Structure 1
Amino acid sequence: MCSHGGGRSSLFPSSIQQEKMPDRSVWVLALALVLALPCVGQQYREEAERIMTTTPVIDGHNDLPWQLLKRFNNQLRVPAANLTLLNDTHTNIPKLRRGHVGGQFWSVYVPCETQNRDAVKRTLEQIDVVQRMCDLYPETFECVTDSAGIQNAFQSGKVASLMGVEGGHSIDSSLGVLRTFYRLGVRYMTLTHSCNTPWADNWLVDTEEEKPVHHGLSAFGKTVVEEMNRLGMIVDLAHVSVDTMKVVLNISKAPIIFSHSSAYALCAHRRNVPDDVLQLVASTGSLVMVNFYNDYVTCKNTATLADVANHMDYVKKVAGAQSVGFGGDYDGVTRLPTGLEDVSTYPALVAELLARNWTEQEVKLALAENLLRVFSKVEEVKGTLQGTPAHETPIAFEELDGTCRTSYGYSSGSGTARLLPAALALPLALALRLSLLS
């Protein structure tokens, strides 16, 4: 017996509307088509399962590590934290299997309130919990750090587990911390969360809640992007302002991702991507991994699976099939569309895309191949920059906030005077020399 899997109006031949037929013939054909709908829907679902068996989904953003911190203080061995049995989260091991999840960027998120306080420490703890997930469930998770590792995990039937830092506040404006996170396995960083950093503007500056500070990136912010290119770390533009999006897309040597954002034209929320930025996404070979959060899908409390498919259709129309991906935001949001309640539901969304005449190749691009292409290109750019030394110039001390901060390295021999910004040091030195000569 077939079950209905979300067949579209495209299942009905246009000839019904266009050709004149006897009333009886119209009704007989319409009835036959309605009776066939369940089997057609099941056909799309079976096709989705078949495709995902060889090309599983790589999702751009999942906040399960944050749930593990909030619920269990990152104690993975307590019985309630068992990832096979955990049921009150969007994500557990059985759900990942049913959803054909083959790759996941786990968010090592810490809130904006940690900025200028303990953000680095808290982020390190979240990196640690992802690594321990891989250690504790080696039959399910394989921690990987490159595109080849993702494909190897596919072959072994494991979930390729990668890490993304969600918010530049996590590096505390330190290039050394950025490099250390990379060495620990972090492979993307979202430049801001819902707060500005001392070097980048977040999406709230495009609303009435905040005012722009940097109009995109400061000079140090541009250095952060350059260093990410040099390291081979993907730049993520979810959560940033439109000016920040445009600056980065114009200066980055490698393609970027939006790890969990949707289309602004369909839902005018500032977390989403406007059309002119989608065009830059297309021209730079970048990627928008569509978010499932109701508020970013319909700008309402409610949404459906079809509404998410609308966003994927739209990104495909404006930026091309090579620019679409999946960025569910599971376990980081409170409201999800009907039909996409947890990570087991990806095949239903794929079936919907097939019903909308997406080709098998287009579906494979969105599932995994687009992300793999972007990641491979980021690695290629890293290769071209191998002879480039690490950026060493620190952010100016005056640009940092917070009282719980020492100034070692910024001080003169007396331990009190701070180093002058580089732009002022040379002119003042010349002026001093001229005064000595006069």
Structure 2
Amino acid sequence: MHVIDLHCDALLKLSEGKGTLRFADAPELQTNKQRLKQGEVKVQCFAIFIEPEIKSDQKFQAALDQVDSFYEDVLRKNPEMKQLKDWSDFDRLQDGEIGAMLTLEGVDAIGNDLAKLRTLYRLGVRSVGLTWNNANLAADGAGEPRGGGLTIFGKDVVKLNNENQVLTDVSHLSEKAFWDVIELAKYPIASHSNAKALCNHPRNLTDEQARAMFKKGGMVHVVYHPPFVKAVGMATTEDLIRHIDHFCSLGGVKQIGFGSDFDGISTFVAGLEDASKTQNFINTLLKHFKEEEVRGFAYQNFLDHRPQTI
């Protein structure tokens, strides 16, 4: 069963590797091409993530370096990897091809310059999260004690996303910023978040937040990172499925997807250690849900809820 994965951090590893890692088969990459094929991951989204300690005046260049890794290491050297820049590109993927879409995890890299964001759109970014866990000029993240909402600039970012049919990702936002996004965004999405009711982590969504996402037509993509799955002890695929079941109970059966966070995590759900193991997860899901529902989680829900083609 084909899978769409909304979040991985392979670009950070590739960029830091400065040409020493082969995207085709580097064992250091949980989402290398070989593993994506083995796991039947049909679309992989690649996040641009800038480490907080990088100086402000160097962050946009760091983002461009990761975009360069995407074009050089992922696309040019691997012809089967096809960039998705238009929402209709998902429908044009051929057998043997894997779609690759750029996303932005936090707008730190653009400072307060919307021209830089438009540049990233032109390079192919189709989903934008306003923050990582820290605060920036757009909003407070889930790790900022102040817990502020969107700034005026942050609201301008969301409006620009709307105008360009770009997703606005809520996964790392503070709760107040989340509600500001829900009010403004035409295309909200949680690219990698679980249910706070089952695992009380700041990065997870409350039931009220999840219901608001579903009511707005947004998708919630469950994340494979163990601290977001289970508070204590080893996390299993059964534990992860409990989050899916919980979101279904809130009315989201047709608005749930996957956002692995591979290459951004160093601990793993048992049996789901890299992209090659994805079908193990699918097979376990089939024991709990109807095949049509699992196909929805795997890829169809996202295709049904993506923005209309530009």
TM-score tier, shorter chain, comes to: over 0.9
State the one-letter code of the partner of 1:258: A
The answer to whether 1:329 aligns with 2:264 is: no
State the one-letter code of the partner of 1:119: K
Q: Distance in 2 between matches of 1:340 and 1:111?
A: 26
The answer to whether 1:164 aligns with 2:103 is: yes
- Max Rg structure: 1
Contact in 1 for aligned 2:201/2:228 (Cα 8 Å):
yes
Measure how far apart 1:92 and its partner are: 1.9
Q: Distance in 1 between matches of 2:55 and 2:127?
A: 19
Measure how far apart 1:223 and its partner are: 1.4
Contact in 1 for aligned 2:106/2:129 (Cα 8 Å):
yes
Contact in 2 for aligned 1:289/1:327 (Cα 8 Å):
yes
Measure how far apart 1:84 and its partner are: 3.2
Q: Cα gap change, 1:267/1:150 in structure 2, threshold over 3 Å: closer, same or farther?
A: same
The answer for the alignment partner of 1:189 in structure 2 is 128
Measure how far apart 1:115 and its partner are: 5.5
The answer to whether 1:106 aligns with 2:38 is: no
The answer to whether 1:290 aligns with 2:222 is: yes
Deviations 1:252-303 (A, max 9, x none): 1x23111111111110001001100011011111011101001110023621
Measure how far apart 1:91 and its partner are: 2.2
Deviations 1:338-383 (A, max 9, x none): 1101101111111111101x12221121111222233234x4xxx6
Contact in 2 for aligned 1:301/1:335 (Cα 8 Å):
no
State the one-letter code of the partner of 1:185: G
Unpaired runs of 5+ residues, structure 2, are none
3-state SS of paired residue (1:346): helix
When normalised by structure 1's length, the TM-score is: 0.68
Q: For 1:396-407, list aligned pairs within 5 A.
A: none
The answer for the alignment partner of 2:76 in structure 1 is 135
Measure how far apart 1:306 and its partner are: 0.9
Unpaired runs of 5+ residues, structure 1, are 1-51, 384-438
Contact in 2 for aligned 1:305/1:340 (Cα 8 Å):
yes
Q: Distance in 2 between matches of 1:103 and 1:221?
A: 29
Q: Distance in 2 between matches of 1:313 and 1:115?
A: 42
The answer for the alignment partner of 1:61 in structure 2 is 7
3-state SS of paired residue (2:7): strand
The answer for the alignment partner of 2:171 in structure 1 is 238
Measure how far apart 1:230 and its partner are: 0.3
RMSD value over aligned CA atoms?
1.5
State the one-letter code of the partner of 1:69: S
State the one-letter code of the partner of 2:300: E
Contact in 1 for aligned 2:130/2:138 (Cα 8 Å):
no
3-state SS of paired residue (2:112): coil
1:280 to 202, 206, 212: 212
Q: Distance in 1 between matches of 2:233 and 2:103?
A: 27
Between stretches 160-169 and 91-100, larger displacement belongs to 91-100
Contact in 1 for aligned 2:222/2:259 (Cα 8 Å):
yes
The answer for the alignment partner of 1:47 in structure 2 is none
The answer to whether 1:211 aligns with 2:146 is: yes
Q: For 1:18-97, list aligned pairs within 5 A.
A: 52=1, 56-70=2-16, 72-73=17-18, 75=19, 78=20, 81-97=21-37
Question: Structure 1 or 2: larger helix share?
Answer: 1
Q: Cα gap change, 1:157/1:376 in structure 2, threshold over 3 Å: closer, same or farther?
A: farther
Measure how far apart 1:248 and its partner are: 0.6
Measure how far apart 1:88 and its partner are: 3.0
How many residue pairs were aligned? 309
Q: Distance in 1 between matches of 2:243 and 2:122?
A: 35
Contact in 1 for aligned 2:166/2:187 (Cα 8 Å):
no
The answer for the alignment partner of 1:269 in structure 2 is 201
Q: Cα gap change, 1:131/1:319 in structure 2, threshold over 3 Å: closer, same or farther?
A: farther
3-state SS of paired residue (2:250): helix
Percent identity, aligned pairs only, is: 29
When normalised by structure 2's length, the TM-score is: 0.95
2:275 to 343, 368, 372: 343
State the one-letter code of the partner of 2:242: N
3-state SS of paired residue (1:355): coil
